[in-house]
Structure 1
Amino acid sequence: MTLDIDRSASEHEHEALNLSALSHSDQLKLQTALKEGWRLTPATMAVKITQGRWIAARHLLYISTIVATEVAKGNARLIFTFPARHGKSEFLSVNTPIWFLEKWPSKFVMTITYGAELATDFSLKVRDTFQNEDLHHLLHTRIRADKKRVDRWLTPQGGGLTAAGIGGPLVGRGADLMLIDDYIKNDEDSLSVTKRKKTWEWFKSTAYTRLEPDASLIIIATRWNQKDLIGMCMTELAHENWRLINFPALAEINDPLGRAEGEALWPERYSRERLLQIKKTLGTYWWDAMFQQNPRASMAGLDLSEYLKKIPESEVPSNADLKTIRAWDLAATEDGGDFTAGPKISRHKETGKIYLRDMKHVQKSSGKVKLLVYGTATGDGHGVQIWMEQEPGSSGKTVIEDYKDLLKAYDFEGEKATGPMEVRASPFLAAIEAGDVFEVEADWNDDFEEELDGFDADAEFDDQIIACALGYNKLVFGLKGSLTWGRETESNVIPIRGNPGHSMSKDTPRAGLTW
């Protein structure tokens, strides 16, 4: 008992009398409970065994108590949604299995992420913690020497952990606690109807059927899409009585932590100012999904044209201060179908501001389009680089080769169209919303703005936006390949100069913008 000098002697005596009234066995139980209190939740255990190196942020402490209480009851169905880089994976996929298997070493944990490699990384951390001899005076669970494979290991009591990726095999394996952490890798996967459907079908047919009687299931993730795994569970499996708690990066009304509206979730790591900077970089569509956990049905309806800054041609900086690209998205149909679009886009070398200076937008035959492209190159001059989107297949490659021959006197490059168009367009749309794009006043403005405000995966026309995105990405990022928002290990990313919050992979063929 700790003596509190601010309390009277009689109060201490009364407390002592209450304790003395307990039986000897109850006194021992109480003393043990006080001494072993660090075992109560995943968070308290993590603080103890890491000697305080694990940071017990308030949102993690909050869900830790819920996890400990609901899992102990059995048959828990919990969903927690968090913004990226806010400690969710370390808590759920490392700290929670350690706590669970220390408490119930005869039971099984199943850790699932978007890829098997990431899941086994988490499994390795859990296994190494139990194998760490420096912690044996605290942790009693051990690993069988003959069953310690990183993706599946066992305890002497018959329990253990299985690590798997979405879509992987789970035959013959059960789970008393199933943990699903970040089931979507990047924006490309989130926008793919096929991949979302495969994830859902795998979850229903393979993962869900591995749950033991009274098993608990916890999903913790950053939201990407209304119809992602969490969205489907809440609609198609509502009878499971899910408890869903959202933690937006900036607090909204009825915040679970009692934060004031607009207050940062983890200000010691991401201040409100830093989060607003990220919002400006991402744009509303991805910010609402990934950081506020409120994904939109589509990109349409954002009224982005309101953010364009219209200026006369006379206010465009001199060519010496600009880098300029003419980008083309081709269509060869003369009547109906897609248009051919060719915007002329410049970027200021010092400020990074974007100037949308001209737009070619026509429905013409392939021969007439060739004349248009060549005539435009002549008018733009040799100082303007030309990029053209290459359609998939051998025919697309042939078209690019034809244009290389036609424009051999100019700086011309083809670019393969890879990934969903919403992904490719996202950086350009975010720049518009941030107020960094100037539109030169011209007759083509209304047509372009109408297409901009209606842009999404199901839009009837998207040629101008796709062509602008191609030009923008080349001006700003200067990268070959597609852009993605997604997850990489910190050792594999480097910041893109002049674009706070953006990163690109050093080791993968395609550059990836990651968080």
Structure 2
Amino acid sequence: MKITSDQRYAIAALAKKELCRRSYRDYVEFVHRGHYQHYRHTELICKELQPISDGKQRYIMIEMPPRHGKSMTVTESFPSFFVSKNPDKHVIVASYSDSLARKFGRRNREKVVEFGNDLFGVELSQANAASNNWSLSEHRGGMLSTGIGGSITGEGADLMIIDDPFKNAEEANSKTIRDKVWDEWESTLSTRLHKGASVIVIMTRWHEDDIIGRLLNNSPRKWIRLRLPAIAEDNDDLLNRKPGEALCPELGYDEEWAKNKKVEVGSRTWAALFQQRPSPESGNIFNRKWWNYYKSLPGSFEEIVES
């Protein structure tokens, strides 16, 4: 039997949709309609998120430099896939501001409206369709988006996503705000997790005592840590990069860019913001409190160090 070109196209389209129903890697590319491209690090992230959508409980930390597609790959897209595939499950997303969280909710709602019925046979509820709080028609599942400290009373989560809980370096360097974010996790967000719920914390690091630093030191959960520095530093890099190799040169963030950016922002900001390796403000190797100052020099020195 001869297959026409129209039939081949229809078969290919059906196959693509089936892939998108099963694979988050294919879904995230499909729902952005040509405005999304995978790179090595986004492939890795999708691979690690896939088991969550398939029903496995996971705790994942994703540490990435700015402008490398972390929110587009995760927070703007994964909730719509997770809920559409598991229509009785619920997602809570928290970020540093209510407006940013609302944007995450809106982006996922748009994907459900456009692709939910065609790919998964689900539709948005007309009775509950706000950008920051929406649910699926004839199902219990949905998504709630809130700023840190916002009200989630009575809500529970099968998937919790915390995306950039600090707005900038000023907030991250404030112990008061770091304590506020941690208290929000301990007293509110973590108490909303249903049995078997998964958690994703995704952020650019600013401070060693941020929420990821505290979770690493205090959380009893078994975290999968995806630390993706702008420039590879270790021989056991998650992407098998050689030391000195850039994370995503395809976006223009190559080794030359890194060299110039490090000079521009300074070594401490570079280590934290781009390498996801924040160091204590007092010094990581030489602590400031060790240094003494003299109005008049001693008569002799046992040792002189110059740098």
Superposition TM-score, scaled by structure 1 size? 0.51
Partner of 2:269: 286
Partner of 1:155: 136
Tell me which residue corresponds to 1:472: none
1:259 pairs with 2:232:
no
Cα 1:35–1:160, aligned 2, differ >3 Å: closer, same or farther?
closer
The answer for the alignment partner of 2:304 in structure 1 is none
Give yes or no for the alignment of 1:240 onto 2:249. Answer: no
- Report deviation, 1:236: 0.9
Letter in 2 for 1:296: S
Deviations 1:479-509 (A, max 9, x none): xxxxxxxxxxxxxxxxxxxxxxxxxxxxxxx
Determine the structure 1 residue equivalent to 2:124: 143
Contact 2:53–2:85 (CA under 8 A) maintained in structure 1: no
Residue 111 (str. 1) matches residue 101 (str. 2): no
For residues 169 and 35 of structure 1, what CA distance do their matches in structure 2 show?
37
Task: List per-residue Cα deviations over 1:241-287 (Å, max 9, x = no partner).
Answer: 11112000001111100011111101111122112211111111111
Instruction: State the shift of 1:76 in Å.
Output: 1.0
Q: Give the SS at the match of 1:138.
A: helix
Q: Does 1:181 align with 2:168?
A: no
Per the TM alignment, residue 138 of structure 1 is displaced from its structure 2 partner at its CA by: 3.3
Distance 2:40 2:143 in 1: 28
2:231 maps to a residue whose letter is L
Describe how 1:57-206 pairs up with structure 2 within 5 A: 57-132=39-114, 136-156=117-137, 157-206=139-188
Asked if 1:43 corresponds to 2:25, the answer is: yes
Percent of residue pairs bearing the same amino acid type? 32
Is the counterpart of residue 277 in structure 1 residue 277 in structure 2? Answer: no
- RMSD of aligned Cα (Å): 2.3
Q: Distance in 2 between matches of 1:301 and 1:211?
A: 36
SS at match of 1:215: strand
Q: Does 1:215 align with 2:217?
A: no
Distance of 1:292 and 1:61 partners within structure 2? 20
Q: Work out the CA distance in 2 between the residues paired with 1:212 and 1:177.
A: 8
Selected match of 1:250 from 231, 244, 262: 231
The whole-number CA distance in structure 1 between the counterparts of 2:73 and 2:195 is 25
Distance 1:44 1:35 in 2: 9
Contact persistence 2:133–2:142 (CA under 8 A): yes
Change (3 A) 1:459 1:77: farther
Figure out how many residues of one structure are paired with residues of the other and give that number.
277
Match of 2:302 in 1: none
Per-residue CA deviation, residues 149-202 of structure 1 (Å, 9 max, x unaligned), is 111111111210000111112110011111111111101111101110111011
Q: Deviations over 1:219-252 (max 9, x none)?
A: 1111111110001111111x21111120000011
For 2:94 and 2:279, locate their aligned partners in 1 and report how far apart those are by CA, in whole Å. Answer: 26
Paired with 2:284 and 2:277, the residues of 1 have a C-alpha distance of 15
* Counterparts of residues 264-413 of structure 1 (less than 5 Å): 264-269=246-251, 270-298=253-281, 300=283
d(CA) in 2 for partners of 1:105 and 1:112? 20
Contact 2:17–2:119 (CA under 8 A) maintained in structure 1? no
Q: When the two structures are superposed, what TM-score results if normalisation uses the length of structure 2?
A: 0.84
Deviations 1:315-355 (A, max 9, x none): xxxxxxxxxxxxxxxxxxxxxxxxxxxxxxxxxxxxxxxxx
Name which one, 1 or 2, has greater alpha-carbon Rg. 1
Q: Deviations over 1:75-116 (max 9, x none)?
A: 211111101111001111111112101211111011111111
Matched residue, 2:6 = none
Q: Deviations over 1:365-396 (max 9, x none)?
A: xxxxxxxxxxxxxxxxxxxxxxxxxxxxxxxx
CA contact (8 A) 2:65 2:273 kept: yes
Q: For the residues of structure 2 that align with 1:246 and 1:80, how far apart are their CA atoms?
A: 6
Higher relative contact order (CA 8 A, sep 6+): 2
Q: Is the 8 A contact 1:71 1:216 kept in 2?
A: no
CA distance in 2, matches of 1:116, 1:283: 31
Gaps of 5+ in 1: 1-31, 304-452, 462-515
Question: 1:80, 1:246 within 8 Å by CA — same for their partners in 2?
Answer: yes
* 1-structure distance, mates of 2:131, 2:144: 8
Any gaps of 5 or more consecutive residues in structure 2?
Answer: 1-13, 294-307
Secondary structure in 2 matching 1:198: helix
